[in-house]
Amino acid sequence: MITLKDVAERIHGDLIGNGLVVISGISGIKEAKEGDITFIIDNSFKKYLKECKASAIILGKDINPDEFKEHNIITTKNPVLAYAKVAEIFHSSSLKEKGISPSAFVSETSQISDDAVIYPYAYIGKESTIGEGAVIYPFVHIGDGVTIGKETVIYPHAVIYDKVIIGKNVIIHSGTVLGSDGFGYIWDGEKHVKIPQIGVVEIEDNVEIGANVTIDRASLGKTLIKKGTKIDNLVQIAHNVTIGENSIIVSQVGIAGSSTIGDNVVLAGQVGVRDHVTIGNNVKAAGGTGITKSVPENSLISGNPHMPHKEWLRFQGHLKNLPKLNKRIKRIEKKLQMEGDND
């Protein structure tokens, strides 16, 4: 049983109202029912209060709590962050028992923690290690010599090739492939000759990788995703790429081989990064940016090829005026031609 007081302590918020109210779930303000806790990000959500049936509401510090006297409330500096923490409380796992399903294939040479869960039809190859509390869902393929840390969750149909290293508290969603060959060939005069890709992929702690992501193994050395980085669905990361800590890589980003991405970088949707470039810490690239050369840290960039965001905005302003400019030039040319004919 979780009380409102328990929730307030978990999110370090200030409680106003009955702390003994039992909270059984979390929901949006329009869908909330008795027993739920909901949240209000800003004043625009107050219009839903009259019909709100939630037992408690989380408010931002900039919202006047006096307007919510009829409700139990918790005030906090960041209601969205508070929501994430409360949602984690009520994120109930469907796991009922631990251990290895008889329908899974696990090599006798692999080491599986007694607290791990291996669902039916998972495949685990030779000499792999799966840590305490890890969850391997059905139809996951784990190759030989793979290391998977504590509390890591791998969802159905993910493929982990040989010798991939995955840290603690990592989430890997369905359809993702880690450790596929990097795209490396050499032309011998008649055909493309494949360059063996004999490096590894390493995923550090607290990384989340979305669905249908591909992260290629290094040709030599490692492809490295550092701790805390979050990768959206449908991202391609090529061989020997390094992505720093706590970066955000949004859907449909493509990063070419041997590029280095710094810490706290944000690459918005459909950003393309060419090979062998370095992107500094705290860089933010707008959607569709084409990064063709190295980017200094703390930059905000846009466009293709990329440029400072303010410069790109000016460029867009000029681009919008091109039709008018074209008409003006034609008028001037016509006038000059008429004057020349008169001479």
User: pLDDT truncated to tens, each residue of the chain (343 aa)?
Assistant: 899 999 999 999 999 999 999 999 999 899 999 999 998 888 788 888 888 899 999 998 888 888 787 889 999 999 889 999 998 888 755 555 689 999 999 999 999 999 999 999 999 999 999 999 999 999 999 999 999 999 999 999 999 999 999 999 999 999 999 999 999 999 999 999 999 999 999 999 999 999 999 999 999 999 999 999 999 999 999 999 999 999 999 999 999 999 999 999 999 999 999 999 999 999 999 999 999 999 999 999 999 999 999 898 888 888 888 888 889 999 998 888 887 777 6
Our answer to whether residue 192 is catalytic in this structure is no
Q: Are residue 64 and residue 21 in the same domain, yes or no?
A: yes
Q: Label residue 330 exposed, middle or buried (CB < 10 Å: 0-12, 13-18, 19+).
A: exposed
Nearest to 261 by CA among 236, 269, 209, 248: 248
- Contact predicate 304/288, CB 8 Å: yes
Element (H or E) spanning 50, and its range? none
Q: Phi-psi bin for 151: left (phi > 0), alpha (psi -120 to 50), beta?
A: left
Domain interval for residue 138: 99-310
Q: Are residues 48 and 156 in the same domain?
A: no
What does the block give as tokens for 21? 């109210």
Q: What is the dihedral of CA 129, 131, 133, 134, to 10 degrees?
A: -50
Instruction: With respect to residue 94, please indicate whether it lies within any of the assigned structural domains.
Output: no
Judge if 260 and 333 occupy the same domain: no
**Which of 50, 44, 40 lies closest to 76 in space, CA to CA?**
40
Active-site hit among 71, 91, 192, 239: 239
CA dihedral for 237, 260, 183, 147, sign (positive or negative): negative
Residue at which a domain ends, from 89, 117, 134: 89
Give Cβ neighbours of residue 84 (< 8 Å, ≥ 6 apart): none
Q: What is the dihedral of CA 149, 123, 94, 152, to 10 degrees?
A: 10
> CATH number, domain at 41?
3.40.1390.10
